[in-house]
Amino acid sequence: MLHAVAHIEFNAINLALDAVWRFSGLPEAFYRQWLQVAAEEALHFTLLTDHLATLGRAYGDFDAHDGLWTMARKTAHDPLARMALVPRTLEARGLDATPPMQDKLRAAGDTAAVEILDIILRDEIGHVAVGNRWFAWLCARDGVEPLATFERLRQDHGAPRLKPPFNLAARRRAGFTPEELLALEQGATGR
Ligand SMILES: [Fe+2]
Ligand SMILES: [Fe+2]
């Protein structure tokens, strides 16, 4: 499980740097904020690989999935799609997934890992917030309605419809609106 999280963080470094490199003509703050995200992802990766080393393991010891980078490729043409489907979908999924992972690690007696995930969860709220900020900015620039646009992009790119439980407190702090959270919950129950 910790190896899987390390793999996510490794991809997240590249995803943040890819947003900086790939999308041109945006405000300077876009580049500064994603560069800051990349630095924090590098810290997360290092914390996890240092901890894995204490367990006699290293990044690369296990197989890993390619879901994050697949989505990076699918959204390479469009910063709006990237913001919608990477930070606002996949990174936001991490907000939901972290507390249950911490419960498992606590049950296994790995307090150090629980503390690392505390740091990661705190920082990831900020990363999702950066995604929310630029998704809103790009929607306003293009004159499109955010909720309908998000749903269209999710369908166009075959992004998963997320299932509960949702970490609603963390999602609120990351800037999801009450309307967006309601749509998320209704989408999950198929209504
Ligand atoms: Fe991270
Ligand atoms: Fe992140």
Query: CA 176, 179, 181 angle in degrees (round to 5)?
Result: 55
Which pLDDT score is estimated for 188? Answer: 73
How far is the centre of ligand 1, averaged over its atoms, from the C-alpha of 47 (Å)? 10
Q: Which of 20, 64, 30, 46 is nearest to 119 (CA)?
A: 46
Q: pLDDT digit string (tens) for 156-181?
A: 998 888 889 999 999 999 999 999 99
Complete domains list, the chain, with CATH: 2-188 (1.20.1260)
CA distances from 191 to 68, 89, 183, 186 (A): 28, 19, 9, 5
How far is the centre of ligand 2, averaged over its atoms, from the C-alpha of 127 (Å)? 5
Contact 80, 139 (CB under 8 A): yes
Which pLDDT score is estimated for 189? Answer: 67
Which pLDDT score is estimated for 190? Answer: 56
How far is the centre of ligand 1, averaged over its atoms, from the C-alpha of 143 (Å)? 31
Q: pLDDT digit string (tens) for 63-100?
A: 998 989 999 999 999 999 999 999 999 999 999 999 99
How far is the centre of ligand 2, averaged over its atoms, from the C-alpha of 109 (Å)? 25
How far is the centre of ligand 2, averaged over its atoms, from the C-alpha of 12 (Å)? 6
Distance of alpha carbon 65 from alpha carbon 8, whole angstroms: 9
How far is the centre of ligand 2, averaged over its atoms, from the C-alpha of 28 (Å)? 20
Contacts of 48 (CB under 8 A, 6+ apart): 2, 5, 6, 9, 59, 116
Mean pLDDT for the chain overall? 96
Q: pLDDT digit string (tens) for 111-157?
A: 999 999 999 999 999 999 999 999 999 999 999 999 999 999 999 99
Nearest ligand to the C-alpha atom of residue 34? 2
Distance of alpha carbon 48 from alpha carbon 9, whole angstroms: 9
Q: Which residues surround ligand 1, an ion (CB under 5 A)?
A: 9, 12, 41, 44
How far is the centre of ligand 2, averaged over its atoms, from the C-alpha of 25 (Å)? 23
CA distances from 26 to 14, 83, 87, 100, 102 (A): 19, 13, 17, 37, 37
How far is the centre of ligand 2, averaged over its atoms, from the C-alpha of 10 (Å)? 10
How far is the centre of ligand 1, averaged over its atoms, from the C-alpha of 128 (Å)? 10
How far is the centre of ligand 1, averaged over its atoms, from the C-alpha of 80 (Å)? 21
Contacts of 91 (CB under 8 A, 6+ apart): 12, 124, 127, 128, 131
